[in-house]
Amino acid sequence: MRYQAIIFDLDGVICRTDQYHYLAWKQVADELGIPFDEQVNERLRGVSRMASFDIILERYDGTMSDEEKIHWTDKKNEIYKSMLTQMGPDDMLEGVADTLHKLRAMGLDLAIGSSSRNTKFILGQLGLSDFFDAISDGTNITRSKPDPEVFVKAAEFLNRAPAECLVVEDAEAGLQAATAGGMDSAAFGEIAIRSGLGTWNLERFSDLIGIVA
């Protein structure tokens, strides 16, 4: 087989939490009087919570202390987490459940590499708590994508060399992180494919089967 392990990003690859991120940030931005739209939101894909807020604050007319920043990011997370409680196994993206089981049957190691500190909660909502062989997420990294740390840690948890791993990503920052970590990547979703940064492009999630075989 071409790869021995696959490391999946979570938001935008396994499920769509991006609309909840957007709605929660929008509430915070509105309260602070900061202009915030889908275009700014695109820049937050794959980026950590605090780094996302720093991008939103580029349009803030004032200064903010570190304590205030923690207050507003905590508030965003409370709003976001209350939205996540509506999620269930049906919120996996099309073809994901079936493809994951086929990849497992092929004997591949399967891991998550997500910037989110809510990864385990989201996997629980999707009914995937015990599915993956390793989880590397926002709770075990100090540097956000495009730094490769989250994927390097995932490969370490699996005991795999970077060259044995394929990363699946919907964010430019995530594709850059994979390359920086010495890993091939599969771009998923319109924006990632258009960036031309992936080793492969996935039209459908199930295309992964042919790529790894």
Active site residue ranges: 9, 11
Question: Please, what is the minimum distance in Å from the beta carbon of residue 153 to ligand B16?
Answer: 13
Question: Least separation, in Å, of the C-beta of 121 and Mg ion?
Answer: 16
Residue of 5, 6, 7, 21 that binds ligand B16 (CB under 6 A): 21
Using alpha carbons, select from 197, 213, 130, 172 the residue that is nearest to residue 46. 172
Contact, 130 vs 149, CB < 8 A?
no
Q: How far is the CB of 173 from ligand B16 (least distance, A)?
A: 8
Q: Is residue 130 marked as binding?
A: no
Contacts of residue 113, Cβ cutoff 8 Å, sequence gap at least 6: 7, 8, 9, 136, 137, 150, 151, 153, 154, 167
CB of 150 to Mg ion, least distance (A): 11
Question: Residue 115's binding partner, choosing from Mg ion, ligand B16, none, with beta-carbon cut-off 5 to 8 A by kind?
Answer: ligand B16
- List the interface residues with Mg ion, window 165-184 (CB under 5 A): 170-171
Residue 90 one-letter amino acid: D
Nearest-angstrom CA–CA distance, 179 and 191: 17
Tell me whether residue 25 is annotated as binding.
Answer: yes
7 is an interface residue for ligand B16 by CB under 6 A: no
Check residue 125 for interaction with ligand B16 (CB under 6 A).
Answer: no
**Which is nearest to 133 in space by CA: 162, 170, 159, 98?**
159
Q: Residue 6's closest CA among 185, 189, 199?
A: 185
Q: Which is nearer to Mg ion, 164 or 170 (CB)?
A: 170
59 is in an annotated binding site: no
Going by C-alpha positions, the residue among 16, 52, 20 that lies closest to residue 34 is 52
Count the residues of the shown chain that bind ligand B16, applying the rule CB under 6 A. 20
Q: What amino acid occupies position 61?
A: D
Binding site for Mg ion (CB under 5 A): 9, 11-12, 46, 170-171
Binding site for ligand B16 (CB under 6 A): 9-12, 21, 44-49, 52, 77, 114-118, 138, 171
